[in-house]
């Protein structure tokens, strides 16, 4: 399989093929890869694609949410959204997408995935999703946490239809 060099925008089929090849290399179970080897998996895909660059790079939960040293990152990430036991980088959420659950109560699990400037990819989502919180890894976690009120969810959907990508004020 010939892959595009990283300085060219990789096509979605090329990236999906590299992800599928890496899934096989890691044993074929996307969920197990995400739960135990997500970072190594992402690094492998990046190598298969010719390296990291402006059109393919890793993202991780720590780019969005910090609960290990929130006092320090508040200064670096301003503006922030105060969450339960941590802070969210508001600008990062605005750029990549808000979770479909109130970030003030949601504590995301650590995860590493790929972003190509359009979609987010991991071992369970080789075709990508537009919002990182729609990755199967996070969807399982969100379902396990207390669901938010339906009215809040509907407000998020209405706002997104209007091009507003930050959560409504409660």
Lowest mean pLDDT of 3-12, 90-99, 153-162, name the range: 3-12
pLDDT of residue 16 exceeding 90, the answer is: yes
- List, for residues 93-108, the tens digit of each pLDDT value: 999 999 988 888 788 9
More confident residue, 165 or 138: 138
Name every residue whose Cβ is closer than 8 Å to that of residue 14 and which is 6 or more positions away in sequence: 3, 4, 49
- List, for residues 107-116, the tens digit of each pLDDT value: 899 999 999 9
Task: Please name the residue ranges forming H helices in the chain.
Answer: 12-25, 30-36, 38-48, 70-77, 90-96, 136-144, 150-161
Q: What is the DSSP string of 133-152?
A: GGSHHHHHHHHHSPPPPHHH
């Amino acid at each position: 399989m010939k892959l595009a060099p990283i300085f060219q925008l990789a096509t979605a089929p090329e990236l999906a093929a590299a992800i599928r090849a890496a899934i096989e290399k890691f044993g074929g179970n996307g969920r197990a890869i995400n739960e135990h080897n997500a970072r190594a998996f992402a690094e492998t895909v990046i190598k298969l694609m010719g390296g990291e660059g402006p059109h393919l790079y890793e993202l991780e939960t720590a780019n969005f949410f910090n609960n290990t040293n929130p006092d320090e990152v508040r200064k670096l990430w301003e503006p922030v959204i105060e969450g339960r036991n941590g802070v969210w980088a508001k600008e990062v959420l605005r750029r990549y997408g808000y979770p479909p659950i109130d970030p003030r109560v949601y504590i995301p699990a650590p995860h590493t995935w790929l972003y190509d400037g359009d979609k987010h990819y991991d071992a369970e989502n080789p075709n990508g999703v537009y919002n990182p919180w729609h990755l199967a890894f996070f969807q399982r976690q969100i379902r396990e946490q207390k669901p938010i009120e339906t009215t809040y969810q509907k407000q998020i959907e209405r706002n997104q239809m209007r091009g507003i990508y930050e959560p409504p004020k409660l």
